Structure formats: structure tokens, C-alpha cells
Amino acid sequence: MCGIVGIVSHSPVNQSIYDALMVLQHRGQDAAGIVTADENRCFHLRKANGLVTDVFQQVHMERLRGNAGLGHVRYPTAGSSSEFEAQPFYVNSPYGVTLVHNGNLTNSEELKEKLFKVARRHVNTKSDSEALLNILAYHIDQTAKYHLSPEDIFSALRLTNQDIRGAYACVAMIIGHGLVAFRDPHGIRPLVLGKREDNGKTDYMFASESVALDTVGFEFVRDIAPGEAVYVTFEGEIYSEICADNPKLCPCIFEYVYFARPDSTIDGVSVYAARVHMGERLGQKIAREWPDEQIDVVIPVPETSNDIALRIAHVLGVPYRQGFVKNRYVGRTFIMPGQTQRVSAVRRKLNTIAAEFKGKNVLLVDDSIVRGTTSEQIVDMARAAGANKIYFASAAPEIRYPNVYGIDMPTKHELIAYGRTTEEIAKLIGVDRLVFQDLSSLEISIQQENPHIREFDTSVFTGTYVTGDITAEYLDEIADQRNDKAKK
């Protein structure tokens, strides 16, 4: 899950894209990029490894001229972390097209073969996003038009949707035309549309999360629908069409658990409200199943679980305390690319306030336990701070299956819950007792905010993939290619 942005404006967009990427930084910490298009039909691109503040200096910002552009923050889920796979990607034909992608394609090898055999197009990296851009460019080219109508763009998108598989929320920019944003037929990754009135003119913006619109002064209009494409011309005309057969909203449930910021609204659901509901239900489960346990204090594992833990404390009638202090200069550990890096980052990131643990029975709350990197270490830290009993609650159920839609969890063997019972996991992370949220409670916590969402992608809990085309062979392949050792 990367963060993407696209803006068509009547004034320079470089600063707004930069500001939007800053608030989407939690979606990708590995690389960042911005491309703009100026009035002379030229693209200006800056992309490199690093955080937004590292990648863009004054000199780069000055070069990013133009009233339309795209931005990306990357969390790699295909290929490598190399700067050559940072986004936006660019192809010069037809017209000049650039693209930003959040998600993960599950048939990129097949696409690369098709591109070579049918279109004689070369893909220079192992990135799925570069293959996606080339497929789109190929279908745009097939229209054989000098100037594309909205209908030409939508028909290219229809053909693209027929070719590509997996999860994709994208924005592409076409020289001489405009921006086109599109979302896969299951709407697995989020994408929103916003607008801003400026001197009687309307500017449009696409972003992964609504928080990006708020930050740069755009008002939320709506979510892009599953399978929909929205085309905004450089003149500010807007067109939209559903370009996929049988679209059905099945958003990734992990966006609500962990990825998205609490101040975002995704597919009609406030992420904050959903997390509070998760806390409510998990608190009720603890009260129901552990009536004899004496919990003295509830402590969150900062920072995503803070809102969940506060609600659990309220339900249990137990004090909530910030027993861990988070170093604000260390980023999210789960989305770091290697296990060695993740392990050392947890210790640099979190430290205890001993008085909150000493002699107490503490309930530690996290949004999820994935590899167990965080929980193993913070339990040790809680013991060292003098905790008596340590209970642990996870607002997500046991994660036992790989993700193929834009979360870098390629192999079940990395997952602490794979092949283990709750008691075995408790023993491994060193807690006295452990509880996981039930999947149905997690789903209801989100549906409570928007009952129209009937189904989620819950593959990490169930091993059932919403696209219906994930085979055991494919899972073996990505496990071989992307496990920690192979990446090294």
C-alpha cells in the first residue's frame, strides 16, 4: 500500500503534491516521487529513495513546474527497493504517459510477456507498476487517434482492466489530455476524488486517503467506485465511467486495522470510528472471556492501536496509560523492507515508563500481530519494567496467510500465527494470556459505519482471495521470490 496523489489545477501544483505526500508518508517510507506537466507539454520528474523530506530539496521543487502532476510514496511489494522502481513511471509513447500505482498485480510476468510479444514494448524493471503503465499505454496507442476523446480513454481502460489482475488504485497523466484515475473491480485499495474552487475555476485532486485532500484545501467529493475511471482534462472538464464487468466493492480490511490514518474516511467509513468500534468489541470479548483476570491498566502499543486501547479501557473500566513512549523520528516498523531493520527499529522506537508497569497486571493492546516483531520485544520491555502479569490483545484476528494485493507479506512462514494456536503464540511472545478479535467482530466494526460494504478482502485471515484467481503455485512462487532471504 503506497500513497498516491494526482492534481489538475489552474495554478502550480508542486507544493500541494508535496504537502499531500507528507500526510500520506505512513503508506510508504521507501521512496518518493513527483512528476508535473508544464504548458510546453514537458514532464518534470524527481524520484529517489527516502522520505518525502529527504527526496525533495528546494532545487527539485523549483524544477517541478506546471499546473498538473502526480505524486507517490512507495512501500515495495514487487521487484526491489531500488530507486529505479520508485514511482511515478514514465513512457514516451503514445503522447507521453506517467503513472502512479498503489496495489499489486498478480499477473505481471504474463503481462510482460504479452507486452513483448504483442506490443514490442520493453519493461526495464521488475516492477508490476511499470508493466501496468505499459499495458495502459499500449491500449491507448491502439485507439490510433491524434486526440483522445473521453470515450477513447475509457475504452483503453476497459481493455486494460481485462488484461491486468490483482489490486490497483492508479492515476495516470497523459500529455495534451489530462489525468485519469482508476480503481480495480474490487476496489481493494482506496482512492478518493476532491475539488477546490479557485477564482470561479474548479481544481480536481485524487488521493489514496481523504486526509490528503483536507491538508491541501480540497473538499471531499466521493470515493472512486470499483472498476470506475475518472478522467479530468487539463481544461478542468470531468468525465467518469465504469470500465469493468461486474465490479463489486471488497476493500482490504487491513486498511482499517493498520494502514490508513485515523483522520481519513475510506469508502464511507471513518477509520477512527472503525478502530473505536474494534476496541468496543474486543473489550467486550475480554470482559466475557476473562472474568477472573485482574487487569490493573490498559497500555497501547503506539501508535496505531492508541484509539483501540482507549476504548477497551473504557469498556473494562480500567485506567488507560501511555506506558510506552514513541520516538517520533522513527517511522513505522512493519513497512520497513527487511526483518533485521524491523527488529532494531522497534527498540529504537519504543521505550517504557517503568512506573506504569511496576508490580501491575498490564493489558497490552495492538492493532495486529503479524510477524510478532513488535510484540516479542515490547513484552520483554514490559517485563524488564517490572510488570507482574502481562496480557495481550490484538484488534485483528490471527494473520495466517500471505497477502498478494499490496501488503508485503509474501510467505506464511514469516507469520507468527501460521500453524500455531493462540496458546502457542502467547508462549512465543512471552505473555500470560492472549486474545484475538473474531473476524466477524472486526467486519461489523467497519460495516457499522457503512452497511453497504458487504464484503472485504480478508485473505490474510482466511486464505480466500477476492479475485478468485490465486493458486497455490502462485503463492509458492512469490514466497520463493520475495522471502527475506531472497530479497537480500
Ligand X SMILES: O=P(O)(O)OC[C@H]1O[C@H](OP(=O)(O)OP(=O)(O)O)[C@H](O)[C@@H]1O
Ligand Y SMILES: NC(=O)CC[C@H](N)C(=O)O
Binding residues: 304, 366-367
Work out how close the CB of 301 gets to Mg ion at its nearest, in angstroms, rounded to a whole number: 5
Q: Which is nearer to ligand X, 395 or 453 (CB)?
A: 395
Binding-site partner at residue 368 among ligand Y, ligand X, Mg ion, none, CB < 5 to 8 Å by type = ligand X
Residue 159 buriedness (CB in 10 A; 0-12 / 13-18 / 19+): middle
Q: Does 375 bind ligand Y (CB under 6 A)?
A: no
Q: Does 304 bind Mg ion (CB under 5 A)?
A: yes
Q: Residue type at 57?
A: Q
Q: Which is nearer to ligand X, 61 or 343 (CB)?
A: 343
Question: Is 395:256 a contact under the CB 8 Å cutoff?
Answer: no
Residue with nearest beta carbon to ligand Y:
2
Task: Give the three-class secondary structure for 196.
Answer: strand
The DSSP letter of residue 218 is P
The binder of ligand Y chosen from 89, 128, 203, 350 (CB under 6 A): 128
Q: Which is nearer to ligand X, 130 or 414 (CB)?
A: 414
**Cell 495466517 maps to which residue?**
400
Number of Cβ within 10 Å of residue 460's Cβ equals: 27
Q: Does 437 bind ligand X (CB under 6 A)?
A: no
- Judged by CB under 5 A, the number of residues near Mg ion is 1
Name all contacts of 421-427 with Cβ < 8 Å and 24+ positions apart. Answer: 422/398, 425/369, 425/372, 425/398, 426/392
Q: Does 186 bind ligand Y (CB under 6 A)?
A: no
Cα 255 to Cα 310: distance, rounded to the nearest angstrom? 20
Which parts are annotated binding residues for Mg(2+)? Answer: 304, 366-367
Stretch that binds ligand X, among 40-48, 82-90, 173-181, 362-370 (CB under 6 A): 362-370
Cα 328 to Cα 201: distance, rounded to the nearest angstrom? 39
Q: Does 403 bind ligand X (CB under 6 A)?
A: no
Cα 40 to Cα 66: distance, rounded to the nearest angstrom? 9
Site string for Mg ion, 255-294 (x = CB under 5 A): ----------------------------------------
Q: Which is nearer to ligand Y, 185 or 406 (CB)?
A: 406
Instruction: Mention every residue, 6+ apart, whose C-beta is less than 8 A from residue 444.
Output: 277, 281
Question: Is 72:29 a contact under the CB 8 Å cutoff?
Answer: no
Q: Which is nearer to ligand X, 232 or 417 (CB)?
A: 417
Stretch that binds Mg ion, among 174-182, 303-311, 444-452, 474-482 (CB under 5 A): 303-311
Q: Does 251 bind ligand Y (CB under 6 A)?
A: no
The binder of ligand Y chosen from 9, 14, 29, 102 (CB under 6 A): 102
Enter the C-alpha cell of residue 408: 508485503
**Sequential DSSP letters for 396-461:** S----S---SSSS---GGG-TTTT--HHHHHHHHT-SEEEE--HHHHHHHHHTT-TT----B-HHH
Tell me which residue of 72, 76, 93 sits closest to 127, measured CA to CA.
76
Work out how close the CB of 39 gets to ligand X at its nearest, in angstroms, rounded to a whole number: 41
Cα 425 to Cα 75: distance, rounded to the nearest angstrom? 28
Binding-site partner at residue 332 among ligand X, Mg ion, ligand Y, none, CB < 5 to 8 Å by type = ligand X
Residues 367-386 that bind ligand X (CB under 6 A): 367-375
Q: Does 457 bind ligand Y (CB under 6 A)?
A: no
Active-site positions? Answer: 2
Residues 47-76 that bind ligand Y (CB under 6 A): 74-76
The binder of ligand Y chosen from 2, 133, 179, 274 (CB under 6 A): 2
Q: Does 112 bind ligand Y (CB under 6 A)?
A: no
Work out how close the CB of 260 gets to ligand Y at its nearest, in angstroms, rounded to a whole number: 13
Residues 393-452 that bind ligand Y (CB under 6 A): 406
E strands of 215-291, at which residues? 219-223, 228-233, 238-242, 265-266, 269-270
Strands 350-352 and 324-326: antiparallel
- Judged by CB under 6 A, the number of residues near ligand X is 19
Q: Which is nearer to ligand X, 44 or 347 (CB)?
A: 347
Q: Does 303 bind ligand X (CB under 6 A)?
A: yes
Work out how close the CB of 415 gets to ligand X at its nearest, in angstroms, rounded to a whole number: 8
Binding-site partner at residue 103 among Mg ion, ligand Y, ligand X, none, CB < 5 to 8 Å by type = ligand Y
Q: Does 258 bind ligand X (CB under 6 A)?
A: yes
Q: Does 101 bind ligand Y (CB under 6 A)?
A: yes
Residue 485 buriedness (CB in 10 A; 0-12 / 13-18 / 19+): exposed
**Sequential DSSP letters for 293-309:** ----EEEE-TTTTHHHH
Cα 448 to chain centroid, rounded: 22
Q: Does 366 bind ligand X (CB under 6 A)?
A: yes
Question: Is 209:264 a contact under the CB 8 Å cutoff?
Answer: yes
∠2-84-66 over CA atoms, to 5°? 70
Task: Give the three-class secondary structure for 286.
Answer: helix
Residues 316-355 that bind ligand X (CB under 6 A): 332-335
Q: Which is nearer to ligand Y, 33 or 300 (CB)?
A: 33
Question: Residues in the site for Mg ion, rule: CB under 5 A?
Answer: 304
Question: Residues in the site for ligand X, rule: CB under 6 A?
Answer: 258, 301-304, 332-335, 366-375
Question: Residues in the site for ligand Y, rule: CB under 6 A?
Answer: 1-2, 74-79, 85, 101-104, 127-129, 406
